[in-house]
Chains A and B, each alone.
Chain A
C-alpha cells in the first residue's frame, strides 16, 4: 500500500519533472541566500513572472494543438500602447478613472482579434502556424510602430500605475490575477469538452476530424485565447511601468516557449498540461530571482537558462525512452 502511494508520487514526478527541478532550485536558493526565503520575495516572483506566465497559459493550448504562436511579443507591445494611449484621449477626459475602461476593452479586443486572424489564416490557407505567426510577429510589430509613430507613451493618470502595484489583502493584485487565470485555464483544459478536443486535435488531427470535431474553428478559438492573454500581459506590464514603448515584449515569445517546453508540453502536440506550464514559469521566475539575489551577472543567467532548456530536452528524451522500454518488457 505504501509502495503504491510512493509510486504514485514518483510517477507524478516523472510526468512533471519540472516540479522536482523547481523544488531543487527552491531549496538551493533558500539555503544559499538569506533574502530568498521570504514571503515578500515569493510574491515578488509571482508578480515578475505573471507577464510571461499569462501568455504561457494560452500558448500551452496552442502548442497542445500542435501549433505555435510567435507573434505574442508584438501583441504585448500593441496592447500596452493601446492601453496607455487611449486612456488619455480627450474623448474620455471627463470619465475620471473610468477612462481606463474603453482603453482596456480595445486593448484586449485587439489582441483577441489578431489571434483570430492568425487562427483563420492557419485554418483556411493550411499554411503552417510557425510561418503564419512568424509573419504576424513582423507585421504586428509594424502595426505597433505605425500606431505609435515610434513614440513611447506615459500614463497621465497615476491610478493606472497604482493598479499595477496594488494589493488585494496580503497578495499583490497581479499575482492573484495570474493564479486565478492559471486555475481557470487548467479547468478549461482538463474538465471541458474544449479541453478534450484540444488534446484530440493535437494528438491525431485526422482522427479528430473523423470524430466530428470542427478542427478549424477549434484552433481559431485557441489562437484567440493566446491573443487575449498576450494582450492582458501587455496591459499588466504597462500598468507596472505606467508607460509603454514600441519595442516592448521583444523576445517574449522565446521566453514563453521556453517556459511551456520546460513544463513538458510537446512541440508535436497532443501532450502537456497547465500544471507543468505553471512549473515551467515558476522555474524561470525562481532562477532569475535567485540568481539576481546572489548577484550573478545577467549575462550568465542567459547562458544558464539556455543550457537548462537543452538539458531538460535531453532528460525528457531519456525519460520517454525509458517509458517506451518499460512498455516493451
Chain B
C-alpha cells in the first residue's frame, strides 16, 4: 500500500519533476537575490538562452528519433562566420539564403551518413564536428569577421531589435518552439519520429521509412542551427571562428534536463525549452548571488545527474539500480 502510494508519488515526480525543479530554482533565487525576479532580468535570461534554445529544440527532434547530433557547435561557428562575412559582400538577404543552403547541405551529409548508411550517429557527428571546424577555418582563413556598418543594417535588428516590448530573439525562439512542438505532437511526421526512436524494427514493419525520418530530423536540426546563427551574428555584429565551440554539450545538457531520453522515443520540444531555461536561470541566479561564472558548471553537474536519476528511479520504482 505504502509502496503503491510511493510509486504514485514517484510517477508524478517523474512526469512533472522538471517543472517542480524549475519552480524551486525560481523561488530560491527570487528569495535570495533582490534583482532576480525583476522583469527585465527575467526577459534578459530568456533572450540570452534563445541561441542555445533554438539549437536545442532542433537537436531534440534528432534525439527523439534515437540519434545524437554533436556537430551543432561547429555548425554554429560555420554558419555565423559565413553569414557575417557574406553580409558586407553581397548584402543581407543573399547572405542569409546562402548560409541556410550551406547549413542544410551539412545537415544533409549528417542525414545521409546516419539515415541512409546507418552509421553510428555519435561517431559520425563527432567526425563532422572536427571537419566543420576545419571548414570554418578554411573559409575564414583563420580571421575573425565583422559587419562594418552595424547601425545602418536591418540585419542587426534580428539580434538587437524588439517588437511590442519583447526582444526579437525571444519571438523567434518562442514561435519556432511552438511550431516544432505542434509538428512533433500533432502531425503524422511527429508520430513517425517517435515511432522510429521508440522501436526502429516495429516502425519499419508498420511501413515507416526510417531513412526519410532520420534524414529529415538532421535537416531540422541544421535549419535550427542556421536560425541560431542569424541571432548570434546579428547580436554580436561579428564572429570568431570558434564561437560555437562547446555549444553541442550545453545544448545536450538542456535536452537531457528536459527529460528527453538519449535512447530515443520520448521527450517533448517544450520540455527542452524548460530545460534550457533552467540552465539559463541557474547561470543568471548564481551570478546575481555573487558566485563566479564557473560555479554554474558544478551546479549543472549535480542537476543533470539528479534529474536523470530521479526520472529513471521513478520509472523502475526504486532508487538504486539493481545491478550487482
Q: Which of B126, B309, B322 contacts A254 (CB 8 A)?
A: B126
Give every chain B residue within 8 A of A309 (Cβ-Cβ).
Answer: 123, 126-127, 130
A215 to B322, CA, bound (A): 11
Q: Decide yes or no whether B277 CB sits under 8 A from chain A.
A: no
**B321 lies within 8 A of A139 (CB):** no
Residues on B with C-beta less than 8 A from A301 are 134
Q: Check if A257 is an interface residue, CB within 8 A of chain B.
A: yes
Is B324 a contact partner of A139 (Cβ separation < 8 A)?
no
Residues of chain B within 8 A (CB-CB) of A3 are none
The answer to whether B163 has its CB under 8 Å from any CB of chain A is no
Q: In this complex, what residue of A is CB-closest to B310?
A: A125
> Judging by beta carbons under 8 Å apart, are B324 and A216 in contact?
yes
In contact, B320 and A125 (Cβ under 8 angstroms): yes
A254 pairs with B129, CB closer than 8 A: yes
Given A131-B308, A135-B300, A142-B294, decide whether A216 and B129 contact each other with a Cβ distance below 8 A.
no
8 Å CB contact of B323 from A126, A140, A143: A126
1/0 per residue, CB under 8 A from B, across A124-150: the answer is 111110111011111111110110001
Stretch from A23-31, A77-85, A93-101, A310-318 forming part of the interface with B: A310-318
Chain B residues with Cβ under 8 A from A254's Cβ? 126, 129-130
Q: Is the CB of A313 within 8 A of B119?
A: yes
Beyond A209-B323, A313-B119, A314-B119, whether A142 also contacts B301 by CB under 8 A is yes
A103 in contact (CB, < 8 A): no
Across-interface contacts of A299 in B (CB, < 8 A): 134, 137-138, 142
Q: Is the CB of B300 within 8 A of A317?
A: no
A180 is an interface residue with CB less than 8 A from chain B? no
Candidates A136, A258, A303; contact of B138 at CB < 8 Å = A303
Known A-B contacts A209-B324, A307-B127; A127 and B309 likewise in contact (beta carbons under 8 Å)? yes
Q: Is B131 a contact partner of A127 (Cβ separation < 8 A)?
A: no
Contacting residues of chain B (22-40) with chain A, CB-CB under 8 angstroms: none
Pair B128/A306 contact, Cβ less than 8 Å: yes
- In chain B, positions 130-160 with a C-beta closer than 8 Å to chain A are 130-135, 137-138, 142
In the complex, the answer to whether B126 meets A138 with C-beta atoms within 8 Å is: no
The yes or no answer to B183 lying at the interface (CB within 8 A) is no
**Quick check: A142 and B298 within 8 Å, CB to CB?**
yes
- In contact, B323 and A306 (Cβ under 8 angstroms): no
Nearest chain A CB to B306 CB, angstrom units: 9
Asked if A139 and B298 sit within 8 Å, CB to CB, the answer is yes
| Number of chain B residues whose Cβ lies closer than 8 Å to a Cβ of chain A | 48
**Residues of chain A contacted by B124 (CB below 8 angstroms):** 310, 313
Report which of B119, B142, B249, B320 forms a contact with A124, defined as CB distance below 8 A.
B320
Q: Which of B279-324 contact A (CB under 8 A)?
A: 292, 294-298, 300-302, 304-305, 308-309, 312-313, 316, 320-324
Min C-beta distance of A32 to chain B, whole Å: 21
Residues from chain B with a CB closer than 8 A to the CB of A142 are 294-298, 300-301
A205 contacts across to B, CB distance below 8 A: 323
Report the bound CA distance from A290 to B138 in whole Å: 19
Residue A45 lies at the interface, judged by CB distance under 8 Å to chain B:
no
Which chain B residues lie closer than 8 Å to A261 at the CB level?
Answer: 123
Q: Which chain B positions have C-beta within 8 A of A123?
A: 321, 323
The residue in chain B whose Cβ has the minimal distance to the Cβ of A68 is B122
> What's the minimum C-beta distance from A216 to chain B, rounded to whole angstroms?
5
Q: Which residue of chain B lies nearest to A141 when distances are taken between CB atoms in the complex?
A: B297
Interface string of A200-227 (1 = CB under 8 A from B): 0000010001000011100000000000
Q: How far is the CA of A267 from the CA of B117 in the complex (A)?
A: 17
**Within the assembled complex, what's the spacing in Å between the Cα atoms of A215 and B324?**
6
Q: Are A306 and B134 in contact (CB under 8 A)?
A: yes
B72 near A: Cβ within 8 Å?
no
Q: Is B113 positioned at the interface, with any CB of A under 8 Å from its CB? A: yes
Contact A131:B305 (CB < 8 A) given known A300-B138, A310-B128, A317-B119? yes
Q: Which of B245-297 contact A (CB under 8 A)?
A: 246, 249, 252-253, 256, 262, 292, 294-297
Q: How long is the Cα–Cα vector from A142 to B135 in the complex, in angstroms?
A: 30
Cα distance A301–B131 in the bound complex, in angstroms: 9
For A310, give its contact among B127, B135, B301 (CB under 8 Å): B127
Q: Does the CB pair A121–B305 fall under 8 Å?
A: yes
Q: Does B162 contact A (CB under 8 A)?
A: no
Q: Mark B97-129, 1 if CB is under 8 A from A, else 0.
A: 000000000000000010001111011101111
Tell me the minimal C-beta distance from A17 to chain B in angstroms.
15
The answer to the question of A184 belonging to the interface, with a C-beta cut-off of 8 Å to chain B, is no
Most chain B C-beta atoms within 10 Å of own C-beta, residue among A146, A297, A303: A303
On chain A, the residues within 8 Å of B126 by CB distance are: 254, 257-258, 309
Chain A residues near B137 (CB-CB < 8 A)? 298-299, 302
State the Cβ distance, B218 to closest chain A Cβ, in Å. Answer: 14
The interface residues of chain A lying within 8 Å CB-to-CB of B123 are 257, 261, 267, 309-310, 313
Given contacts A127-B309, A135-B253, A146-B292, 10 further A-B contacts (CB under 8 A): A127-B308, A128-B308, A130-B262, A138-B301, A139-B300, A142-B298, A254-B129, A267-B122, A309-B126, A309-B130
B contacts, CB < 8 Å to A = 113, 117-120, 122-124, 126-135, 137-138, 142, 246, 249, 252-253, 256, 262, 292, 294-298, 300-302, 304-305, 308-309, 312-313, 316, 320-324
11 A-B pairs (CB sep. < 8 Å): A131-B304, A134-B249, A139-B298, A142-B294, A216-B323, A254-B126, A254-B130, A258-B130, A299-B138, A303-B131, A310-B123
